[in-house]
Structure 1
Amino acid sequence: MPGQREGDGTAAKAVSDPRREFAEALRDARELRLAGKWTQAQLAREVRTSSSTISRIEGSDFPIPSNLPEIFDQIFETDGRFKDLYERIREQGYVAHAQRRMKLETTAVAIAEWSQTVVPGLLQTPSYARALFRAGKPRAANDEIKALVRARMERQELFQRKSPPDFSAVVCESVIRRNVGGADVMREQLAVLLSHGKRPTSVVQVLPLGASCHALMDAPVSILTTASGTVVVHTEGIRSGSMIEEPGDVRHLSRSYDVVTASALSPDASAELILKVMEAL
């Protein structure tokens, strides 16, 4: 499954260590502040967030808003420590071949996704992601699964930017019909697909099961465009993946994605089908 890591129960500790370090560093910085200890509420006011957000970050059980690490470094004069820990948190839970893709994802101005098997990670709900990770790693400790889900959810912060990337996703009809995690999980997941389809910067389409064969049948594909106009393609298998940058290959895969998009249902027709499947659960 996309985003998994190999290893035994010891991987859970490795995955979650940077988050615990971040939590402890924030608590220490707040309580040992030279100018006087801050309460969580005082720190929250200083960084313009809620005290509950600070509390949950210090409890190691909350996605860290992407703007806060740099602010923490500024107000506590920690010379990039919080930013470095945040990058380690983001990288944990992803196999090596996906780490560069993840970094590009945070700054991409456009992202296009194709998936023939599961809902793309950027659109997954926590429950759906948890079901996938649990199915793919049946012997994993609960803490490891929890950390992997949390890391996947943090990727979705890019949709909360003031200027989010242009985003498009095409999924095979089998994706919306495959019962991952049970009816309740799928209803929630399909509702999220519908909500993304209504965003002004997003397009969600479904490729019907009756569509003819195409060049992207074998693997999911992500096409990322940087602010400089560079386009790279990331493909992923069960335990492997690659970043494709050779211009000819990028053009070929981008063209193949265009063909899939043209063969898919329109956004409105896709939403109608998703709603029909959701209501039948």
Structure 2
Amino acid sequence: MPARKDIDGSVSVPAFYGKELRWKREAAGLTLQATVANSFYAPSYLSEIERGTRRMPLRLAIHVDRVLATDGYFERCCKDVQKAKRGGHAEYFADVAEMEQHAETIEEWAPMLVPGLLQTEAYARSIVRAAMPRASGKEVEEKVNARLSRAELFDGEDPPEFWAILDEPLLRRRVLPAERMAEQLEHIADVVKTTHSILQVVPETSAAHPFMMGMAKLMTFTDAPPVAYTESLHSGQLIDYPALVKEYRQSYDLLRAAALSPEASLALIQEAAEDHRNGKDRDRLGHRTVA
């Protein structure tokens, strides 16, 4: 359990919220353990919320209001805290970026774009600029830096176990000039190897499979229930309802079975990188016919 320390509520909105939470809890004479009892969250999770390093999930806020008899205060303030500005991430993704830092496992299905944790700076900038064509250079760089900083979790003392499944066409999609695309694909392979992560590719010859409708991310934690996350063009949905998370888990497990082995997948990524460098990706696209 982290050592107790004073909280400066002026540092940020989450810190102010957390300081108030600790004051109410201690005024009620309850320990962290007693406060989270029957909530599926660990005392360490609540401790980090009190210190402003983690955001309060709505489900836990409702539980805390009931235990502390605070008349819905923490539930009402929860959404305001979630909206507080957070380092360049879209509002709908900010909670996910924070959860990544505490995850025990992260599993992703990426049918269209390279996952953010595996993107190079050039790739990230190209994607951000495409999504925000009217944004200023400062806005673009803020979002690029926020995206790249997420990968720092791999450098922590206890990084999450990472598993990604990519769709083969995204390896061929020319998001960048050929040389930069080759560098992006080689970066994926390097990260996977150096972090002892697992990566699979679903071949374009694959038949129908789960998750044909869009991307998904699954995360598990040592001190909180698992969650799933899905995203579309300008919105995302964080899912913590246990039955629905279980369905996403089952679909992801089936997707693994449809994908190539990790060894074959890395070989395919290397092949795609060489194709970009040698111009074979252009030849491949040029020989395809459009129905």
Q: TM-score range by the shorter chain?
A: 0.5 to 0.7
* Contact 2:83-2:91 at 8 Å conserved across structures: no
Alignment-mate amino acid for residue 94 of structure 1: H
* Contact 2:154-2:195 at 8 Å conserved across structures: no
Kindly indicate whether residue 219 of structure 2 is the aligned counterpart of residue 228 of structure 1: no
Change (3 A) 1:218 1:128: same
* Contact 1:112-1:222 at 8 Å conserved across structures: yes
The whole-number CA distance in structure 1 between the counterparts of 2:85 and 2:99 is 12
The whole-number CA distance in structure 2 between the counterparts of 1:150 and 1:212 is 37
1:179 to 147, 161, 174: 174
Change (3 A) 1:186 1:246: same
* Contact 1:110-1:226 at 8 Å conserved across structures: yes
Kindly indicate whether residue 154 of structure 2 is the aligned counterpart of residue 159 of structure 1: yes
The whole-number CA distance in structure 1 between the counterparts of 2:248 and 2:53 is 38
Kindly indicate whether residue 126 of structure 2 is the aligned counterpart of residue 127 of structure 1: no
Q: Alpha-carbon deviations, 1:14-73, whole Å to 9, x = none?
A: xxxxxxx9xxxxxxxxxxxxxxxxxxxxxxxxxxxxxxxxxxxxxxxxxxxxxxxxxxxx
The whole-number CA distance in structure 1 between the counterparts of 2:53 and 2:238 is 28
Match of 1:107 in 2: 102
Q: Alpha-carbon deviations, 1:53-94, whole Å to 9, x = none?
A: xxxxxxxxxxxxxxxxxxxxxxxxxxx9999xxx99982322
Match of 1:211 in 2: 206
Could you say what secondary structure the match of 2:164 adopts? strand
The whole-number CA distance in structure 2 between the counterparts of 1:81 and 1:108 is 17
Q: Alpha-carbon deviations, 1:108-131, whole Å to 9, x = none?
A: 010000010000011101100001
Equivalenced residue count is 202
Q: Alpha-carbon deviations, 1:181-240, whole Å to 9, x = none?
A: 211221111011111231353101111011122231112111010113621001011111
Kindly indicate whether residue 187 of structure 2 is the aligned counterpart of residue 168 of structure 1: no
RMSD: 2.6
Alignment-mate amino acid for residue 195 of structure 1: D
Match of 1:150 in 2: 145
Aligned runs of 1:227-246 on 2, under 5 Å?
227-228=222-223, 230-246=225-241
Change (3 A) 1:89 1:179: farther
The whole-number CA distance in structure 2 between the counterparts of 1:250 and 1:88 is 24
* Contact 1:170-1:207 at 8 Å conserved across structures: yes
Match of 1:199 in 2: 194
Could you say what secondary structure the match of 1:112 adopts? strand
**What percentage of aligned pairs have identical amino acids?**
35
The whole-number CA distance in structure 1 between the counterparts of 2:128 and 2:89 is 12
Q: Alpha-carbon deviations, 1:140-176, whole Å to 9, x = none?
A: 1111111110010111110001221100000100111
Alignment-mate amino acid for residue 116 of structure 1: P
Structure 1 stretch displaced more, 141-150 or 192-201:
192-201
Alignment-mate amino acid for residue 268 of structure 1: E
Alignment-mate amino acid for residue 186 of structure 2: A
- Where structure 1 has 5 or more consecutive residues not aligned to the other structure, the ranges are 1-20, 22-79
TM-score (norm: length of structure 2): 0.65
TM-score (norm: length of structure 1): 0.67
Could you say what secondary structure the match of 2:162 adopts? strand
Change (3 A) 1:199 1:88: farther
* Contact 1:90-1:154 at 8 Å conserved across structures: no
